[in-house]
Amino acid sequence: MAMDALHAAGFNVTEFKGEADFKDSGYLLMLGVGEWGIGQHGDILSAAGERGIRRIFWQLETLPPHDLPSSRLVNFLLRPGPDRSKGLRRLFERLGYQYLAREIASLPWNRDGVFDPRRFALPFREARKLIMLWKNNLIDEILVSQESRQKFLASRGIPSRFMPFGYHPILGSPRTDVARDLDVVFLGTLYEKRSLLLDQIGRSLSEHGYQLTVVDRACYGEDRARLLNRAKILLFLRNYPWEMPRMRMLMAMGCKAMIVAESFADTSPFRPGEHFAMSPSQELSNTLLSYLENDQARQEICERTYAFVSQSLRLDGLLDGILRPGSVPPHS
């Protein structure tokens, strides 16, 4: 998808397979941390830098919240080092997240106290690798797809540029051969507290003659596009409460399904009330019912949002704007 968008923007793109691909290259664009900066990949990044290739890292995965307390524990959990997925390192990290849960008890995004601290493992792992890449001068610039991630990096003294993930038709597009016959769809992983909320919403909708469809299995490609084209509304629940992932939103918006989401602080570039609806968890049922009972208001939001993502938020246009020659923030 990214390669297709770059081609559409007029770039010559080669999927990296070896240092021979550096010939005549001006950019090395990396998506996600993965194994970059570790072992051989670190040597590759160094070699690219020596050739004057601009190494751009686009952070697409969750990072920790920006308002973490300043503490030795947080510094320990963010300190780059050996793999912590095994043995004592893994045990110490798990204990660290349990203690961190006490330190974050008063933060605004954690006011309901339902966040499982074990789920800190992914964002902290991503952060450690990214901090290591930057401090070892293995990347020249960081792009972030959410402003909350930009704030986190800034809290660690690392500059970045905000570029939302853009729309590409492969994410989903309107279908004329599919009836929009599903009232509300939830697509995602189930766990205890989320299941309780969905049960409550499902009962409330049923009392008014509507149905909630829960899909907690793997759903990709054509199956997902067909499902979202059948949905009048996609219910979007918080995963990491300090940030609002945009990928699934783009999938639904591209299929002209309306989004009704739990409350988030960071929604850019989407605006509540204009591109989607947002409300606290205890009010989601009423919000869903209000749009199920007002087809015109729902359809107006869907059409306006589809025009926005398919015209102003195209992935090729965003990449073109960020990669064309211009000012580059200095590496500090």
Give the model confidence (pLDDT) of 141-170 as tens digits: 999 988 889 999 999 999 999 888 899 999
Token pair in block for residue 44: 């590759």
Indicate whether 153 and 196 sit together in one domain: no
- Taking residues 115-130, report their average pLDDT: 88
Alpha-carbon distances, residue 117 vs 96, 105, 121, 184 (angstroms): 9, 11, 8, 30
Contact 32, 61 (CB under 8 A): yes
Please count the helices (runs of H) and the strands (runs of E) in the chain: 12, 9
Same domain, 100 and 187: no
Alpha-carbon distance of 260 to 279, in angstroms, equals 8
Same domain, 324 and 296: no
Average pLDDT (272-293) is 96
Domain count along the chain: 2
Note the pLDDT of residue 142.
Answer: 94
> What is the strand order of the sheet 277-279 is part of?
212-215, 182-187, 231-236, 258-262, 277-279
H helix runs in the chain, sequence order: 2-8, 40-50, 72-78, 87-103, 121-135, 147-155, 192-207, 221-230, 247-254, 284-292, 295-307, 315-323
pLDDT at 321: 84
Which residues have a Cβ under 8 Å from the Cβ of 276 and sit 6 or more positions away? 236, 249, 253, 258, 259, 260, 261, 267, 270, 301, 305
pLDDT at 34: 58
CATH number for 216: 3.40.50.2000
The confidence score (pLDDT) of residue 135 equals: 92
Q: Please report, as a single letter, which amino acid is at residue 74.
A: V
Distance CA 306, CA 174 (A): 9
> Angle of helix 87-103 relative to helix 121-135, nearest 10 degrees?
100
Residue 143: predicted pLDDT: 93
**Residue 322 and residue 188 share a domain:** no
| pLDDT confidence bin for 102, thresholds 50/70/90 | confident
Q: Are residues 157 and 176 in the same domain?
A: no
Are 3 and 145 contained in the same domain? yes
Residues, the chain: 332
Tell me, yes or no, whether 190 and 306 share the same domain.
yes
Per-residue model confidence (pLDDT) at position 80: 78
Residues facing 213 on adjacent strands: 185
Shared domain for 140 and 223, answered yes or no, is: no
Q: What is the pLDDT of residue 160?
A: 95
Q: Distance between CA atoms of 80 and 70, rounded to whole angstroms?
A: 17
Q: Is 148:66 a contact under the CB 8 Å cutoff? A: yes
Structure tokens belonging to residue 220: 């990709």
Instruction: Name the range with the highest mean pLDDT among 10-14, 16-20, 71-75.
Output: 71-75
Examine the domain organization and report whether 5 and 69 are in the same domain.
yes
Write down the mean pLDDT value for the chain. 88
Q: Give percent of the chain above pLDDT 70.
A: 92
Residue 257 clears pLDDT 90, i.e. is over it: yes
Residue 36, pLDDT > 80, answer no
Q: Are residues 318 and 200 in the same domain?
A: no
**Based on the domain organization, do 119 and 141 belong to the same domain?**
yes
Give the pair of three-digit tokens for residue 94. Answer: 């798990």
Q: What is the pLDDT of residue 81?
A: 67
Q: What average pLDDT does this structure show over 226-239?
A: 94
Of 167, 124, 121, 128, the closest CA to residue 145 belongs to 167
Confidence of residue 328 (pLDDT cuts 50, 70, 90): very low
Query: Which range marks the domain in which residue 196 is found?
Result: 169-312
The pLDDT score that the predictor gives to residue 30 is 85
The pTM score is 0.86
Among the ranges given (64-78, 111-125, 261-275, 283-297), the one the predictor scored with the smallest mean pLDDT = 111-125
> Mean of the pLDDT values across residues 61-75?
91
Average pLDDT over residues 167-194: 92
Predicted local confidence at residue 14, as pLDDT = 84
Are 12 and 138 contained in the same domain?
Answer: yes
